[in-house]
Amino acid sequence: MKPIHPGFDWREAARLALVSRMIDELEENELVPQGHINYQFSARGHELGQVLICQLLTHPHDAACAYYRSRPFALGCGLTIEEAIASDMARVGSINGGRDIGVVWNLPRRGRAMLLPLAADV
């Protein structure tokens, strides 16, 4: 049987989906209750689709504008765990130096799609 898409890195997709879920759980169970962050925007249930789409966006001109529940997509595009948590906590080390609420920054191209400023409107 021919693979659905031979270019997918399924281990990386699973790893990033689990990382995103673990960050959600850390935020929900510790960081929000302890007052370290004010907002929690779970991507629960959307992880796998988002990280797989990222794997297809490798052309140098690819860019995407995601939304506030797109952390798995951002991780798939190269956001590090440290940057994700620092952004949540509005700390230095985040994508924009701590001047955000964790969901409205942009991400320069890191081998996959460049992320244009994320939308946080509902």
pLDDT tens digits, 8-56: 999 999 999 999 999 999 999 999 999 998 888 889 999 999 999 999 9
pLDDT digits (tens, 9 = 90+) for 85-108: 888 887 887 887 777 666 667 888
DSSP the chain: ---S-TT--HHHHHHHHHHHHHHHHHIIIIITTTTS-S-----TT-HHHHHHHHHH--STT-EE--BTT-HHHHHHTT--HHHHHHHHTT-TTSTTTT-S-SSS--B--SSSPEEPPPB---
What are the structural domain ranges in the chain? 10-115
